[in-house]
Amino acid sequence: MTQRTRRNLLVLLLLTPYLVTAQTGAGRGDAAQPRTPNVTTESAATTGVAAVRENYTKFEYRIPVRDGVKLFTSVYVPKDVFAEGKTYPIMLLRTPYNVAPYGIDQYRASLGPSDLFQREKFIFVYQDVRGRFMSEGEYTPNRPHKAVKNGPKDIDESTDTYDTIDWLLKNVPGNTGKVGMWGISQPGFFATAGMIDAHPALVAVSPQAPVTDYYLGDDVYHNGAFMLAHRFAFYVGFRPRAGNPEPPQPTLPFQYGTPDGYQFYLDMGPLANAEEKYFKHQQPFWTLNVEHTTYDEVWQSRAIWKHLKNIKPAVMLVGGWYDTEDPQGPLRQFDFMEKNTPPAVDMLVMGPWNHGGFSRGDGDRLGNVNFGSKTSQYYRERIEFPFFLYYLKGRGDGKFPKAWVFQTGMNQWRTFDTWPPSAARPTAIYLDAKGRLAWQQPAQAGFDEYLSDPNKPVPYVGHITQGVLNTYMTEDQRFAAERPDVLVYKSDVLDHDVTVFGPIAVDLKVSTTGTDSDFDVKVIDVYADDAPDYNTVTQPGQPAPVPSAVPLGGYQQLVRGEPFRGKFRKSFEKPVPFEPGKPDRITFNLPDVAHTFRQGHRIMVQIQSSWFPLTDRNPQKFIEIPKALAADFVKATERVYSGGPEGSKITLRIGE
């Protein structure tokens, strides 16, 4: 639940219960007309509610879609539509998280993707998607898209979007006939669905950190490993609606009983215990996640990216290099669209942000890492706002690059006409003896080994935290490098900058004494010993910044890391066991980067077999892990082979 959602829920609890009065009529949705607003309180003014009430009139509708279901929709219309006859394009957001506050006299504290949109003025539309809160129907997580529809009962999120837009154009006063759509995370999924077989009036869409494929690198599974801590924390709060449409109901937060998430999940025991101890078979969304451990029809049918062909609206895909939830979504959508009759404008925007970090704050740092400029503000003012302004209001030159990315390490914005840049050349760096990374293939073959104990898993951060730290993807890795169950390889000190664009290819030759094991790979930027801490620099007229939590001299910054569950090395659909002690090969890609390892730094690779509780523990037996018992979790000796023509390597796309 976001901070804005929590704030709106608190406001909601203070409201007198409100019911939308039903009306009949085949051509119009059920609507409630606004009464004279109450006097604004001082507290409301401080939240921005006063500014919205001053400039917009709120309406609430139940919009009928083709199968008769009615979707609850809040609409904010600029007041000068009525006073001066002005017209505006529509900005639409569809969400499963609620459109609070409910009630025509209760206003949001802000409108649109940023305050720039609210000041510019658009007609803003917020909709509870099918089956959530005040909308009718049944909610299905990441509802499968139906490519072929044989009648009005064949619905999906693209049809609900189409029907919503069609109704808005015919019934909301003062609209220009143009619609833009945006959404972050799950609302990003609904934005993506909306641009498939899009309504002709939908001219610009921005899926932002969109859920794209729950199994392939988004929220639920990464290379077959279950994202335990995030999924558990999400599903203790995100639950199915119990009955008829209703606003959000007050709930108590889940009580972990300890600030130590590592210990909480270790004490929980095998994954099956989550169901027995906490969910009590009353949370079907969690059950869906843990019952489908392979890339089966459940996940494949929800892979919205496979339907992104012949897209007509202009598209701006937005993501964060350090997104802890949906890092792969925008990259996967962009790559697929570029290969399948892409839209006339298909722009990828990637910056140094965590999940949705581009939409809030300055974006000048994440955790201990300082980026030297206000990247989020830059994005909102220079990229996002001009994109919608051009396509919805015809202002600006309409010149947008194919890729607009922030190059970390060098800390500068770059634009490219392809992504990854065509000039970036694949270059291998090899694992070598004595913990070295070598630019030339080592002649001597060998191996390194470690003992992996799933009952003493490697933590994903080096300090106490309860959930998934939203800065962990830039965290210092020195704590892990000191563990005997983590292999460490590092380059010589770089005598020149090394800039990497695009995905990082992992090619490991491994063996295990078990029948299954994880092999988690982290690519790390090791700072120079005298690296300064720019978080201690005070700007004139600004409060003193919060210094980094650790000294930055020798800092081991995580640049990219991913788990890989070994039994999926042949296929995500059909897992196969390891033959104990027999070498085998694991190949996969780490998600894209745009990062410069600066002169005087080192490149480091760490390899381990647990990353807890970011991912669930592998018993190191070939077994259906959600059914594993405590006795099934066994130690295994892992080997990683280096040198010779079959040695392990990492391939970087190096450019300038």
What are the DSSP calls for 300-352, one per residue?
A: HTT-GGGG--S--SEEEEEEETT-SS-SSHHHHHHHHHHTSS--S-EEEEEES
In this predicted structure, what is the pLDDT of residue 37? 35
How large is the average pLDDT for residues 299-306?
A: 98
- The mean of the pLDDT values for the chain is 92
Omega of the bond prior to 420 within 30 degrees of 0, cis? yes
Mark out the alpha helices in 103-156 (DSSP H runs). Answer: 115-120
In this predicted structure, what is the pLDDT of residue 47? 57
Q: Which distant-in-sequence residues (6+ apart) come within 8 Å of 1 by Cβ?
A: 9, 97, 237, 238
Tell me 648's DSSP state: -
The length of the chain in residues reads 656
- Is pLDDT at 17 greater than 80 in this prediction? no
Tell me the pLDDT band of 16, cut-offs 50, 70 and 90: very low
How large is the average pLDDT for residues 411-438?
A: 97
- Is pLDDT at 510 greater than 50 in this prediction? yes
Tell me 276's DSSP state: I
The Cα 615–Cα 231 span in angstroms is 10
Q: Which distant-in-sequence residues (6+ apart) come within 8 Å of 656 by Cβ?
A: 423, 499
Contact 358, 318 (CB under 8 A): yes
How large is the average pLDDT for residues 460-469?
A: 96
In this predicted structure, what is the pLDDT of residue 544? 75
Least confident of 30-44, 353-367, 534-548: 30-44
pTM of the model: 0.92
Amino acid at 420: P
- Is pLDDT at 15 greater than 50 in this prediction? no
In this predicted structure, what is the pLDDT of residue 536? 84
Centroid of chain to Cα 381: 22
- Is pLDDT at 45 greater than 50 in this prediction? no
Tell me the pLDDT band of 32, cut-offs 50, 70 and 90: very low
In this predicted structure, what is the pLDDT of residue 2? 46
Q: CA angle, 575 as apex, 570 and 581 as ends, to 5°?
A: 75
How large is the average pLDDT for residues 610-638?
A: 98
269 phi-psi bin (left φ>0, alpha ψ -120 to 50, beta other)? left
144, burial (CB in 10 Å: exposed 0-12, middle 13-18, buried 19+): middle
CA distances from 525 to 213, 480, 596, 603 (A): 29, 14, 9, 5
- Extract the tokens encoding 34: 């606004």
For the chain, what percent of residues have pLDDT higher than 90? Answer: 89
Domains in the chain with CATH codes:
1-161 (no CATH), 425-655 (2.60.120.260)
The Cα 301–Cα 311 span in angstroms is 19
The Cα 46–Cα 49 span in angstroms is 8
For the chain, what percent of residues have pLDDT higher than 70? Answer: 93
- Is pLDDT at 540 greater than 80 in this prediction? no
How large is the average pLDDT for residues 129-150?
A: 97
Over residues 162-218, the pLDDT tens digits come to: 999 999 999 999 999 999 999 999 999 999 999 999 999 999 999 999 999 999 999
How large is the average pLDDT for residues 18-44?
A: 36
